[in-house]
């Protein structure tokens, strides 16, 4: 994954200049999200193994996979909202 270049707020409308503390807090939030998504990936391997064992016929495993996909999406969304709270972007963007 590539690292995003820090923005100084002068080229992207709606963003303020982030302090080093802001950047650190946002990176911590993103680290928590990455850790959680890694845990989700581990669980997904368990689900995949069950589906392989049952010849892709385990409805419970299919539902578990769906739940894990939703959990990953919601975690990404939660991290985005938390980072937005730190960045304090303009309300109209």
pLDDT tens digits for range 60-83:
999 999 999 999 999 999 999 999
Nearest-10 Cα torsion for 56, 38, 77, 49: 10
What pTM does this model have? 0.77
Give the residue from 24, 71, 26 showing the smallest Cα distance to 44. Answer: 71
Number of helices and strands in the chain (H, E): 2, 0
Distance, CA of 23 to CA of 26 (rounded, Å): 5
Give the residue from 77, 87, 85, 78 showing the smallest Cα distance to 14. Answer: 87
- pLDDT one-digit tens code per residue, 18-72: 899 999 999 999 999 999 999 999 999 999 999 999 888 889 999 999 999 999 9
How high is the pLDDT of residue 68? 97
Residue 2 has φ and ψ, to the nearest 5°, of -80, 150
Mean pLDDT of the chain: 88
């Amino acid at each position: 994954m590539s690292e995003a270049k820090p923005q100084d707020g002068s080229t992207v409308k709606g963003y303020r200049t982030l302090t080093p503390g802001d950047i650190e807090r946002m990176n911590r939030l993103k680290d928590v999200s990455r850790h959680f998504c890694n845990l989700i990936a581990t669980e997904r391997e368990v689900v995949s193994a069950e589906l392989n064992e049952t010849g892709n016929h385990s409805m419970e495993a299919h539902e578990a996979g769906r739940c894990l996909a939703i959990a990953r999406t919601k975690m990404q969304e939660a991290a985005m909202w938390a980072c937005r709270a730190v960045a304090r972007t303009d309300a109209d963007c």
